[in-house]
Structure 1
Amino acid sequence: MHKQIKQTTRTMAQINYEQEFKRSIKDPENFWMDQASQISWFQKPTRAISKEANGFYQWFKGGKLNTSYLALDAHIENGRGDDIALIYDSPVTQSIAKHTYLELRDMVSRLAGGMQRLGVEKGDTVIIYMPMIPQAVVSMLACARLGAIHSVVFGGFAPHELAIRIDDAKPKLIITATSGIEVNRIIPYKPMVDEAIKTATHSPEHVIVFNRKLGAIRPDGENDIDYATLMKIADPVRWTEVDATDPLYILYTSGTTGKPKGIIRDNGGHAVAMHYSMKHVYGVNPREVFWAASDVGWVVGHSYIVYAPLIYGCTTVLFEGKPVRTPDASTFWRVINDHDVNVMFTAPTAIRAIKKEDPNGEFIKQFKMCNLRYLFLAGERCDASTLEWAGEKLNVPVIDHWWQTESGWPIVANMMGFENHFEVKPGSATKPVCGYDVQILREDGTQAQPREEGYVAVKLPLPPGTLPNLWGDTERFVKGYLQRFEGYYFSGDGGYIDEEGYVFITGRVDDIINVAGHRLSTAEMEEVVAKHPDVAECCVVGIEDDLKGQVPLALAVLKAGSEIEHFQLQSEVVNDVRKAIGPVAALKKVLVVERLPKTRSGKILRKIIRAIADGKEYNVPSTIDDPEILSEIQNLFEGQMVGVFEKK
Structure 2
Amino acid sequence: TQVCKAANALKELGVQRGDRVAIYMPMILELPIAMLACARIGAPHTVVFGGFNAEALRDRINDAEAKLVITADGGYRRGEPSGLKSNVDLALESTSTIEHVLVAKRTGQDITMVEKRDVWWQDAMDGQSDNCPPEEMESEDLLYLLYTSGTTAKPKGIVHSTAGYLLGVSWTHRHVFDLRPDDDIYWCAADIGWVTGHSYIVYGPLANGTSSVMYEGTPTYPGPDRWWEIIDRYKVSILYTAPTAIRAHMKEGHQHTEGHDLSSLRVLGTVGEPINPEAWIWYHKYIGGEKAPIVDTWWQTETGAIMISPLPGVTTTKPGSATFPLPGISADIVDEQGNSVPFGSGGYLVLRKPWPAMLRGIYGDPERFAETYWSKYEGMYFPGDGAKRDAEGYYWLLGRVDDVMNISGHRLSTTEIESALVSHDLVAEAAVVGQPDPLTGEAIFAFVTLKRRADVNEDFGAELRAYVGEKISPIAKPKRLMFTPDLPKTRSGKIMRRLLRDIASGQKLGDTTTLADAGVVEQIQSASLESKDDE
TM-score tier (shorter): 0.7 to 0.9
- For residues 262 and 429 of structure 1, the distance between their equivalents in structure 2, rounded to whole angstroms, comes to 27
How far does residue 581 in structure 1 lie from its aligned partner after superposition? 4.5
Residue number among 508, 522, 530 corresponding to 1:588 in the alignment: 522
Residues 543, 263 of structure 1: CA spacing in aligned structure 2 closer, same or farther, 3 A cutoff?
farther
Residue pair 2:81, 2:107 contacting (<8 A) in 1 also: no
Q: C-alpha offsets along residues 223-267 of structure 1, whole Å, 9 cap, x if unaligned?
A: 001110000033331211111111111000011223111111111
Residue number among 64, 70, 81 corresponding to 1:186 in the alignment: 81
Residues 413, 638 of structure 1: CA spacing in aligned structure 2 closer, same or farther, 3 A cutoff?
farther
How far does residue 115 in structure 1 lie from its aligned partner after superposition? 0.2
- 1:318 aligned onto 2:265: no
Q: C-alpha offsets along residues 25-63 of structure 1, whole Å, 9 cap, x if unaligned?
A: xxxxxxxxxxxxxxxxxxxxxxxxxxxxxxxxxxxxxxx
Q: How does 1:25-424 map to 2 (within 5 A)?
A: 106-200=1-95, 202-236=96-130, 237-287=132-182, 288-324=184-220, 326-357=221-252, 359=253, 361-394=254-287, 395=289, 396-416=292-312, 419-422=313-316, 424=317
- For residues 216 and 140 of structure 2, the distance between their equivalents in structure 1, rounded to whole angstroms, comes to 33
Shift >6 Å, 4+ stretches: 511-514
- For residues 106 and 362 of structure 2, the distance between their equivalents in structure 1, rounded to whole angstroms, comes to 34
| SS, match of residue 174 in structure 1 | strand
Structure 1 unaligned spans of 5+: 1-105, 515-540, 559-565, 594-612, 614-635, 643-648
Q: C-alpha offsets along residues 85-127 of structure 1, whole Å, 9 cap, x if unaligned?
A: xxxxxxxxxxxxxxxxxxxxx1110000000111111111100
| Paired-residue identity, % | 37
How far does residue 353 in structure 1 lie from its aligned partner after superposition? 0.9
Residue pair 1:291, 1:343 contacting (<8 A) in 2 also: yes
- For residues 501 and 115 of structure 2, the distance between their equivalents in structure 1, rounded to whole angstroms, comes to 39
Residue pair 2:2, 2:33 contacting (<8 A) in 1 also: yes
Which fold has the larger relative contact order, with Cα–Cα distance below 8 Å and residues 6 or more apart in sequence?
Answer: 1
| SS, match of residue 212 in structure 1 | coil
Residue pair 2:75, 2:107 contacting (<8 A) in 1 also: no
Residue pair 1:381, 1:507 contacting (<8 A) in 2 also: yes
- 1:472 aligned onto 2:417: no
Residue pair 1:111, 1:142 contacting (<8 A) in 2 also: yes
Residue pair 1:543, 1:550 contacting (<8 A) in 2 also: no
How far does residue 398 in structure 1 lie from its aligned partner after superposition? 2.6
| SS, match of residue 495 in structure 2 | strand
Residue number among 351, 374, 393 corresponding to 1:458 in the alignment: 351
Residue pair 2:228, 2:257 contacting (<8 A) in 1 also: yes
CA RMSD in angstroms, aligned pairs only: 2.9
In terms of Rg, which structure is larger?
Answer: 1
How far does residue 331 in structure 1 lie from its aligned partner after superposition? 1.1
Residue pair 2:9, 2:125 contacting (<8 A) in 1 also: yes
| SS, match of residue 142 in structure 1 | helix
Per the alignment, residue 377 of structure 2 pairs with 485
Residue number among 444, 449, 461 corresponding to 2:337 in the alignment: 444
Residue pair 2:23, 2:46 contacting (<8 A) in 1 also: yes
Matched residue type, 1:490: F
How far does residue 339 in structure 1 lie from its aligned partner after superposition? 1.4
Q: C-alpha offsets along residues 389-434 of structure 1, whole Å, 9 cap, x if unaligned?
A: 1111121223322111111211111112xx5221x22221111112
- For residues 103 and 75 of structure 2, the distance between their equivalents in structure 1, rounded to whole angstroms, comes to 12
Residues 183, 480 of structure 1: CA spacing in aligned structure 2 closer, same or farther, 3 A cutoff?
same
Residue pair 2:20, 2:68 contacting (<8 A) in 1 also: yes
Residue pair 1:306, 1:316 contacting (<8 A) in 2 also: no
Residues 451, 544 of structure 1: CA spacing in aligned structure 2 closer, same or farther, 3 A cutoff?
farther
Per the alignment, residue 625 of structure 1 pairs with none
How far does residue 146 in structure 1 lie from its aligned partner after superposition? 0.6
- For residues 514 and 91 of structure 2, the distance between their equivalents in structure 1, rounded to whole angstroms, comes to 13
Matched residue type, 2:320: G
| SS, match of residue 345 in structure 1 | strand
Residue pair 2:9, 2:124 contacting (<8 A) in 1 also: yes
Residue pair 2:270, 2:296 contacting (<8 A) in 1 also: yes
- With the length of structure 1 as denominator, give the TM-score of the two structures: 0.65
Residues 641, 318 of structure 1: CA spacing in aligned structure 2 closer, same or farther, 3 A cutoff?
farther
- For residues 511 and 277 of structure 2, the distance between their equivalents in structure 1, rounded to whole angstroms, comes to 32
Q: Which sits farther off after the overlay, 432-441 or 484-493?
A: 432-441
Residue pair 1:150, 1:250 contacting (<8 A) in 2 also: yes
Q: How does 1:443-592 map to 2 (within 5 A)?
A: 443-461=336-354, 463-510=355-402, 550-551=495-496, 552-553=499-500, 555=502, 580-583=513-516, 587-588=521-522
How far does residue 283 in structure 1 lie from its aligned partner after superposition? 0.8
Q: C-alpha offsets along residues 531-550 of structure 1, whole Å, 9 cap, x if unaligned?
A: xxxxxxxxxx9976556663
| SS, match of residue 264 in structure 1 | strand
Count of residue pairs the alignment pairs up? 448
Per the alignment, residue 80 of structure 1 pairs with none
- With the length of structure 2 as denominator, give the TM-score of the two structures: 0.78
Residues 446, 313 of structure 1: CA spacing in aligned structure 2 closer, same or farther, 3 A cutoff?
same
